[in-house]
Chain A
Amino acid sequence: QKALFCISHAAESAIMVVNSVHWFRKCLRLHDNPALQEALNGADTVRCVYILDPWFAGAANVGINRWRFLLEALEDLDNSLKKLNSRLFVVRGQPTEVFPRLFKEWNVTRLTFEYDPEPYGKERDGAIIKMAQEFGVEAVIRNSHTLYNLDRIIEMNNNSPPLTFKRFQTIVSRLELPRRPLPPITRQQMDKCHTQIGENHDLLYSIPSLEELGFRTEDLSPAVWRGGESEALDRLNKHLDKKVWVANLEHPRVNTCSLYASPTGLSPYLRFGCLSCRVLYYNLRELYMKLRKRCSPPLSLFGQLLWREFFYTAATNNPNFDRMEGNPICVQIPWDQNPEALAKWAEGRTGFPWIDAIMTQLRQEGWIHHLARHAVACFLTRGDLWISWESGMKVFEELLLDADWSVNAGSWMWLSCSAFFQQFFHCYCPVGFGRRTDPSGDYIRRYIPILKDYPNRYIYEPWNAPESLQKAANCVVGVDYPKPMINHAEGSRLNIERMKQVYQQLSHYRGLSLLASVPTIQEEAEPPMTDESQTSSGPGRRRPD
């Protein structure tokens, strides 16, 4: 039957029955969910779905920690919906096959979902919107995954995404504040569109287990990062409490403790949408204004959020953002192809304890500190192994809980000096940088237990320890722990030459200055705003000795 269809928000029609389906993808939360609110608005029935293809699980580049986090988030949603007298419908399959079936079965008249700014997401959603039109289903989409409307930012930058963070901050500072977050949906709202849950609900629409997705769970240690909106909101409160207690809103100091997973860390929850970025934004803003007597906060307060926004903006119109070839912003660098070396790096067998500990933590827990990311990314690419950042990005995609497609690809390009006009001279030494970040060596001992009896002097470079010491520590390099896979001095010497070659060809620079080889971008030349200070985001800094 031909039903009326409209893309924009439909006024209530007394004759038409409104059966809504809200499609969860990211944005796995009931708070600040404008699209979900639209699903409920004037609806007779509402069903919240999540579409999942278990077969795809095995083929996808997604590790066990990421799946577990997602499943926990789905379970949390289901529990929250239960309290509102509803349930989560996990539908197995692909959206393009699932929706036609559901549209018919449930007589769907309205489909709502959160806007996904990533190129793959836009393409997928374009197809679904078209399909919805054909079925006479009204498609309502709302933006809540990013603070701002990314297209607006691009428009304000002469129709091109800002390629330096400074420029991005300048543009953002001219925008209005992000839209205020919406409250969570309520029991009263849900009661108006109460939907009967079938007795066979758990049979048809249950959340799969890790085993069903093809994972072995016998030896799986408990999750360090528990997925879900409840956990996210709990952490948010603790995060804000900590900021007050430390009385330092802007520049968190980095010390050894920062390397370990923090009970107030929020990045995976932002990625999966268990926590709304706008909720975090406004909470930080209000806290700052309370503590600093109503003074407007500098942009540096929102460092983490703005970096995320920056990469999303850079990526939204660039389907080739995650590769070197065909990517207009990526420098074409003659990376080496070396699967053996890549595997050693990915599996934490490089022979450099600092690198191996970080990669071990990443694989075991799903999160590592940003300085640790710099260290391993540099080691893989321009620092030591000269392997493509795309390979590193894929490993992070598999293992890292907070790896958004845009943020992960963008960060890897940044760290490998493949884009964004980065200077390439500062190389993170796989021995020295580790030692300076954690002089106690405890981080190494925790994640590479075989090295625990090494003294601090040699724990970052065990191959330099005298043989007697190695034997006494019950860990002989080359036998119990790998030899270093590369000579760092020689490797970094070679690589700096390579980078220089590439950049000099790019910038047509013929001089001797290392710094001048990197071209500067025109957009930097613009003077900043006069009133607000447009400055850097809060960095991590080591505690002075």
Chain B
Amino acid sequence: MHMKRMKEGEEGSDGSPSKSPPEACKKVRKMSKELEAVAATESPDGNWARLPQELLLHIFQYLPLLDRAYASQVCRGWNQAFHMPELWRCFEFELNQPASSYLKATHPDLIKQIIKRHSNHLQYVSFKVDSSMESAEAACDILSQLVNCSLKTLGLISTARPSFMEVPKSHFISALTVVFVNSKSLSSLKIDDTPVDDPSLKVLVANNSDTLKLLKMSSCPHVSPAGILCVADQCHGLRELALNYHLLSDELLLALSSEKHVHLEHLRIDVVSENPGQHFHTIKKSSWDAMVRHSPKFNLVMYFFLYEDEFGPFFNEEIPVTHLYFGRSVSKEVLGRVGLHCPRLVELVVCANGLRPLDEELIRIAKHCTQLSAIGLGECEVSCSAFVEFVKMCGRRLSQLSIMEEVLIPDHQYSLDEIHWEVSKHLGRVWFPDMMPTW
């Protein structure tokens, strides 16, 4: 899957910004005219050294970082081009240790250069770290040095185990605070699986409340509901929010639906059980209703990782969820409630259910969830007739239908060999269940 060089106008591995095609075309046309002019007047040898800076910049933006670095060694002019601020707006620091990852890391010398010469150019920055604490600490060290930065985007991404959680909390917080204080125009912040806490969120809010649009902080155990509420209260431009269920409160939803607040586009909630029999609080229907009234088009994405008997507080009343994922086994009864109480449902993905057929539940979902366009079933059971009925009721709106082969139980009406025909007919395209090798 080596697609980097081939795709023009897409983000390179280092995150160079992509230009929209019409703009790029205009520029290229303009530049080729200039190039023609240069070619017409000069001898063939002199061209490359006298390419206009603008053209060089444009070309360099398409080059992956390593190639650009090679190009910068060719001559002084190209070296200067390499250091143009526009080329350093985006950067993705890849921090990996050979002992813990197969991936290559950003060269330490390059990191030093960037901090020295380009930290004030950086605007869109992300850190990809592997599972070693050294990598996460290295990320924090870099963050601490971004004093002259005015970042618009910051992403802290762990590609394997969340190593930011292993960094001493104070070290992490102080590094993050440097960015919060200096940036003042942060619009997008991704800090999932980090030890961010309430006080640092206050600092974030104090400096960036006008600009913050996106905040992803799933699995940040040191944040409390009050901490996130502070963000919602102050950051009225917040459009996308991702967090864990324990941070969700009626107050938070009401704050997000207040008049001053923009329309929310996307709320992602992870519901994770730490211990079996864990108790989860309920959210009032009125809070959800307020959200829908305020932001009628918002998407509510919920990922559940609970034991079967922990679903008591959920789906007893109408909830505006649009994308629902059950990462562990979910009972037939709960799926029945989903059918009744999730009228806005767009995607339903069920990892596992159990040994009893979900016929009725699926039919009910087809009937009530009129927006449903994607469904995935893993370790479940559905009789072939009920499944065909389900597909018939949903019809062509089902653009994603991912059913494990073992799910479908042949009955008097349909065998496995026949069912894919029926389903394909109703979907209007060729369809087969998902298969697993049986060797």
Q: Which residue of A has the minimal Cβ distance to B377?
A: A426
Interface 1/0 per residue, A304-325 and B, CB below 8 Å: 1001100100000000000011
Smallest CB separation, B54 vs chain A (Å): 28
Interface 1/0 per residue, A484-517 and B, CB below 8 Å: 0001111011101110010000101000111110
B349 touches A515 (CB 8 A): yes
Q: A374 at the A/B interface (Cβ < 8 Å)?
A: yes
Q: Which residue of A has the minimal Cβ distance to B378?
A: A426
A386 touches B430 (CB 8 A): no
Q: Which chain B positions have C-beta within 8 A of A540?
A: 406, 438
B437 touches A411 (CB 8 A): yes
Indicate which residue in A298, A336, A410 contacts B100 across the interface (CB closer than 8 Å). A336
Q: A-B contact count, CB below 8 Å?
A: 205
A493 touches B430 (CB 8 A): no
B356 touches A545 (CB 8 A): yes
Interface 1/0 per residue, A238-275 and B, CB below 8 Å: 00000000000011000000000000000100000000
Q: B280 at the A/B interface (Cβ < 8 Å)?
A: no
Q: Which chain B positions have C-beta within 8 A of A528?
A: 430
A426 touches B379 (CB 8 A): yes
Q: Which chain B positions have C-beta within 8 A of A545?
A: 355-356
Smallest CB separation, A401 vs chain B (Å): 12
Q: Which chain B positions have C-beta within 8 A of A514?
A: 323, 325, 347, 349, 376
Q: B197 at the A/B interface (Cβ < 8 Å)?
A: no
Smallest CB separation, B9 vs chain A (Å): 11
Q: Which residue of A has the minimal Cβ distance to B299?
A: A512
Q: Which chain B positions have C-beta within 8 A of A410?
A: 437
Q: A172 at the A/B interface (Cβ < 8 Å)?
A: no
Q: A166 at the A/B interface (Cβ < 8 Å)?
A: yes
A489 touches B102 (CB 8 A): no
Indicate which residue in B102, B328, B406 contacts A429 across the interface (CB closer than 8 Å). B328
A332 touches B1 (CB 8 A): yes
Q: B288 at the A/B interface (Cβ < 8 Å)?
A: no
B351 touches A331 (CB 8 A): no
Q: Which chain A positions have C-beta within 8 A of B346?
A: 513
Interface 1/0 per residue, A103-140 and B, CB below 8 Å: 00000000000000000000000000000000000000
Q: B159 at the A/B interface (Cβ < 8 Å)?
A: yes
A410–B218 alpha-carbon span in the complex (Å): 34
A338 touches B100 (CB 8 A): yes
Indicate the member of B157, B219, B266, B438 with the most A CB atoms within 10 Å: B438
Q: B6 at the A/B interface (Cβ < 8 Å)?
A: no
A545–B381 alpha-carbon span in the complex (Å): 11
Smallest CB separation, A379 vs chain B (Å): 14
Q: Which chain B positions have C-beta within 8 A of A324?
A: 102
Q: A537 at the A/B interface (Cβ < 8 Å)?
A: yes
B374 touches A251 (CB 8 A): no
Q: Which chain B positions have C-beta within 8 A of A364?
A: none
Q: B193 at the A/B interface (Cβ < 8 Å)?
A: yes
Indicate which residue in B272, B329, B374, B435 contacts A490 across the interface (CB closer than 8 Å). B272
Q: B315 at the A/B interface (Cβ < 8 Å)?
A: no
Interface residues of A in 455-500 (CB under 8 A from B): 464, 487-490, 492-494, 496-498
B99 touches A300 (CB 8 A): no
Interface residues of B in 391-421 (CB under 8 A from A): 399-400, 402, 404-406, 409-410, 416-418, 420-421
A304–B101 alpha-carbon span in the complex (Å): 35
Interface residues of A in 504-545 (CB under 8 A from B): 506, 508, 512-516, 524-528, 533, 535-542, 544-545
Smallest CB separation, B17 vs chain A (Å): 15
Indicate which residue in A414, A425, A489, A544 contacts B437 across the interface (CB closer than 8 Å). A414
Q: A402 at the A/B interface (Cβ < 8 Å)?
A: yes
A498 touches B400 (CB 8 A): no
Q: Which residue of A has the minimal Cβ distance to B100?
A: A337
By Cβ-Cβ distance, the 8 closest A-B pairs, closest first, are A426-B378, A334-B159, A336-B160, A515-B400, A489-B305, A535-B417, A533-B417, A539-B406
Q: A425-B351, A539-B438 are in contact. List 14 more A-B contacts (CB 8 A).
A: A336-B161, A425-B402, A426-B404, A494-B162, A494-B193, A512-B347, A513-B323, A516-B399, A533-B417, A535-B432, A537-B438, A540-B406, A540-B438, A542-B355
22 CB < 8 A contacts A-B = A300-B416, A304-B438, A307-B438, A325-B102, A334-B159, A335-B102, A337-B99, A407-B439, A414-B437, A436-B379, A498-B160, A506-B1, A515-B400, A516-B399, A535-B417, A535-B420, A536-B432, A537-B435, A539-B438, A541-B409, A544-B357, A545-B356
